[in-house]
Chain A
Amino acid sequence: MSKLLGVAVFLAAAGVLIGFYVSKLTTDAGSPSYTVPVQTAGAHPVVDLTIETVAAVGPQLSPGHPDFVSYLIRDTTGKWRRDTVWRLPANATVHVTVYNFDGASGLRNPYLARPLGVDGNQEVVDGKPVSVINPDDASHTFAVPQLGLIVALPGVGDNAKNQCGYAPCPMSNAHRTITFTFHTGAKGHYRWQCFVPCAAGWIDGFGGPMQTIGYMDGFLDVV
């Protein structure tokens, strides 16, 4: 009888622990996120998201991996942060500005060179609206597949002068400016990624920073 009771207690304890684990797994939002400030609140909020892409994140922002290619986000103080989990409001209009300081690697699949899921299906590159970029000129993409969003970012020319070494890169360094607008839609936990094999020195350009949240991948926490 005592053995039976022991087994019952053990099973009950195991059940409670499994319940806690599943509960945490289903409610955990993952990595801590950076809350992007809302410009205009209300039912249809407006958000300005300013990010940059750099060929080498540098020892200041990533002492362990200074040579990793990375996305950075600019906070309200103008400081560049290496956070790639961003909290955005649901049903928001997001105006994105990307400063790209990196050179071109080229898209493995040219189909992804066409902006999709953005207003007008266009992106603005250095002030000029375009419906597609040359896939060979792509340096990175900002893509949220679950939202149908993909924007290819053209890179700095190989012969450009004053190229950035380590981030943070001053605006006097050679860069491209890309802007576009998308909408967050329903609440959710959406991953974003780069589709360009831009991880220099890694197999097929898709290891290291391409497979590490905090560099070329992240989440949009739409709340």
Chain B
Amino acid sequence: MPNHGRRVIGAWIVLSVVATPLVAIFLGPELPPGHASQQASEQVFDNTVITSIVTPVIALLLVFFVYALMTFRKAPGGALVDGPPLRNDNTIQVLWVALTSVVVLFLAGFGTYELLQNGSGGGQGPSPIATPSGPKLQVQVIAQQWEFTYRYPSYGGVETSQLVLPENTEIELHVTSLDAIHSFWAYELGIKADANPGNDNIAFLKTKGPDTFKVHCAELCGLWHGYMFSNGRVVSSSQFAAWVKQQQQVYAAVQQYMPAYATTYFPDPQRRAG
């Protein structure tokens, strides 16, 4: 009677030793969401770690299934007989519980550590606990049915319909909504933050070099939710300065009617139609 356990473990170790480095080295850097921002790169690293850890787990399942299918299948023309009885094995049970606990606890600790560094690109509410140090450019994201607009408080509160950011800059995003619940999602930048009316949801972002990205709403928000997207750009500092100046000229006409910059807005819902 061959020792099936040893065979399975042996094949699993060989497959894991080969596959795990391949996954970490070749597949990892290609994982989403890319490298358009520091947060995006960190998420690629996180995904690489998780995928590398899960590789031996998947390898064990594959080896077990393939081995079982090949070894315990009924031979053509042979009699259908029951397999050997299952027996309790304390060592395997202890090992199983211990190993899975170690993996789960490690991932929980790793995820928490990564999250606490700078928020990992997620909205942290009005009082973020993971705040990067150093100066930041504040940009407000205003969601409304069905478009995002953006205000730049350090440039006179100018509002624009396109998100443009300077390269290599720490950005402090303040995400809010004027009506329903939306979600600001800049996939390539690794940023996703809910936009709730009356709520200031803060997320941090460190841009890299010039790039383009897409902005989507990630919360079903009504008829045109699927069309609530736009393109954004990361540009050089000089291009950003020129763009802001141009936007300020466009904005001048409506400036007299704009409310002062605030972290949230409460449009009057009791208007005639409300």
Contact = CB atoms under 8 A, between A and B. Distances in A.
Interface of A: 103-106, 108-111, 113-114, 116, 121, 131-132, 134-135, 143, 145-146, 148, 191, 193, 195-202, 204-206, 210-213, 217
B134 interface: no
B271 A105 contact: yes
A108 B272 contact: no
A197 B271 contact: yes
Interface of B: 142, 144-147, 149, 159, 161, 178-180, 222-224, 227, 230, 250-251, 253-254, 257-259, 267-269, 271-274
A214 B271 CA distance: 24
B257 A113 contact: yes
A146 B258 contact: no
Contact of A205 (B144, B149, B250, B271): B271
A111 to B, nearest CB: 4
Contacts of B257: 110, 113, 132, 134-135
A116 B247 CA distance: 12
Nearest to B162: A148
A136 B159 CA distance: 18
Given A105-B271, A108-B267, A198-B273, A206 B222 contact: yes
Contacts of B272: 103-106, 200
A206 B147 CA distance: 14
Contact of A111 (B149, B179, B222, B224): B149
A211 B271 CA distance: 19
A56 B267 CA distance: 25
B142 to A, nearest CB: 7
A113 B272 CA distance: 18
Given A114-B254, A211-B222, A206 B180 contact: yes
Given A148-B161, A193-B224, A204-B274, A121 B250 contact: yes
Instruction: Kindly name the residue among A114, A146, A211, A217 whose own CB sees the greatest number of chain B CB atoms within 10 A.
Output: A114
Contact of A131 (B159, B161, B253): B253
Given A116-B161, A148-B161, A213 B273 contact: no
A121 B254 CA distance: 12
